[in-house]
Amino acid sequence: MIPPGRSNSIRRMHPETRLSCADLLPPGRMVTSDEGDGGVQPLWLSNGSATAELWTRMHAEHTRSGLWPLLLDSLDPSDDEFRPWGSGEVFPEQMSSPASHDPACLLPQWWATYTAVDEDDDMFDTDRRLAVTAPFGRTWPGLVPSRETATNPDQLATEFAQAFLANRPHTRLGLVAATSGGEALTVAGWAGPCNYDNDTAKFSAVVRDWEDRFGARVVAVGFSTLHLSVAAPPVDEHDALLVAAEHFAFCPDNIWQSSSPYTLTAYAERITGAHHWDFWWD
Mean pLDDT of all residues belonging to the chain: 88
Taking the C-alpha atoms of residue 230 and residue 146, their distance in angstroms, rounded to an integer, is: 12
pLDDT grade, residue 148 (50/70/90)?
Answer: confident
Stretch 177-204: mean pLDDT: 96
Cα atoms found within 13 Å of the Cα of residue 130, Cβ hemisphere only: 7
> Does the pLDDT at position 11 exceed 90?
no
> Does the pLDDT at position 22 exceed 80?
no
> Does the pLDDT at position 64 exceed 80?
yes
> Does the pLDDT at position 262 exceed 50?
yes
> What's residue 37's pLDDT?
58
pLDDT grade, residue 119 (50/70/90)?
Answer: low
Taking the C-alpha atoms of residue 34 and residue 25, their distance in angstroms, rounded to an integer, is: 24
Question: For residues 25 and 73, which has the higher predicted lDDT (pLDDT)?
Answer: 73
Length of the chain, in residues: 282
> What's residue 79's pLDDT?
85
Q: Report the candidate in 239, 198, 192, 238 with the shortest Cα–Cα distance to residue 218.
A: 192
> What's residue 96's pLDDT?
96
Query: In the chain, what is the straight-line distance between the N-terminal and C-terminal CA atoms, in Å?
Result: 27
